[in-house]
Amino acid sequence: MSDVTDTKLPAQSPPVDRAETAKADAAARLSWWRGDGGEGAKRNLGLLATLVVLVVIGILTRPDLYGDPNWVWGNTLTILKLASVVGVVTVGMTFVIIGGGIDLSVGAIVALAGVWSTTLATQSYGAGGMIFSALTVGLAVGVVNGLLISYGRLVPFIATLAMLVAARGLAAEISDKQTQVSTSSFINGIATTKVLGIPLLVYILVAVVAAGWVLLNRTTFGRRTVAVGGNPEAARLAGINVRRHTVLLYALSGLCCGIAAVMLTAQATSAQAAMANLYELDAIAAAIIGGTLLSGGRGTIIGSLLGVIIFSTITNLFAINNLSAEAQNMVKGGIIVAAVLVQQVQFRSLTQFLARNRATTT
């Protein structure tokens, strides 16, 4: 009996108040929603709401078309195909902008890679040689951009603007200002092949977006990109080789341009020096609309993808309503200006908040 009474019972934890735990969890979720974590989610929800508004506008302006489910499905695939090439370019552009740079030469790189991969000499190596050529040319031009900016200390705007002119000129010289027809059935089939009723181009876009999302959000490379774009000096003091990382960012952008060149060549079954004109405008605009901060240090791949789809939907709306391309460009320009103004207001508010917070803590 004494053994039983002398035995010490293990200490018991205090009873858990489930109501208090539920309140704490709800408070944590609310704090996440109001904080930086919920900022991206709110921005993406806003982009989805914009897409819904555009669809409603389409229904109101062309009820005869939107009343046919088959047409709606086909039109949705058309919008996604329209967004696929620019979407791939935008992924690379998003990395460059988050890293604090800008790349005005993406359209010219797509043209140069497309023209180089469709020369008679390159086509003699088959589809594999054409794809390898396009990817290598895009990657090489991206590396040159990165070297000029990081080690040559040129302003990204100037360096990539010069590359835009030079790459267009080289593409025109190689093609002799002629359209080069692709004779590869494999390359041409990329644009016409469907898997489970969905074009292969859409799958390529999804694959590039998924790879970009993982690279930005789940790797050291992505965290370094945000650090370099947010504060290059702090990133350097933290041990990051900022110059080398900048070269890698522009190389990544060039590689995306090489992929886009293959996709665009497949769609047109040819390549020419004037192809991918103003792609830099669409890619930058999509990234900004998607929430990528133009001064660097913040951005999301999903937001950029939604930005591309919004732009493609606007283009589609203008087409089905028989409106001119000039009006379309004016609307796009207005959207870009509005997005930058919204960013400036948000950035100014954030700066003021941080200044007040520092003053309070000190």
Q: Where are the beta strands (DSSP E) in the chain?
A: 180-181, 194-195, 198-199, 270-271
Using the 8-state DSSP alphabet, how is residue 270 labeled?
E
Hey, CA dihedral for 275, 333, 311, 307, is it positive or negative? Answer: positive
Dihedrals phi, psi of 190, to nearest 5 degrees: -60, -35
Which residue has tokens 């181009």? 201
Question: In the predicted model, is pLDDT for residue 2 greater than 80?
Answer: no
Tens digits of residue pLDDT in 219-277: 999 999 999 998 888 988 888 999 999 999 999 999 999 999 999 999 999 999 988 88
Instruction: Give the residue among 78, 128, 75 at the shortest CA–CA distance from 267.
Output: 78
Residues 131 and 190: beta-carbon distance below 8 Å: no
pLDDT tens figures, 286-305 = 898 888 888 888 889 999 99
**170/144 Cα distance (integer angstroms):** 15
Dist CA 51 CA 268 (whole Å) = 28
- Alpha-carbon Rg for the chain in angstroms: 25
Q: Percentage of the chain surpassing pLDDT 70?
A: 83
Q: Measured between alpha carbons, how far is residue 113 from residues 38, 133, 136, 226, 313 in Å?
A: 39, 7, 8, 29, 27
Q: What is the pLDDT of residues 86-113, one digit of tens each?
A: 999 999 999 999 999 999 999 999 999 9
For residue 3, the model assigns a pLDDT of: 46
Strand partners of residue 181: 270
Of 308, 238, 299, which is closest to residue 88 (Cα–Cα)? 308
Average pLDDT over residues 281-285: 88
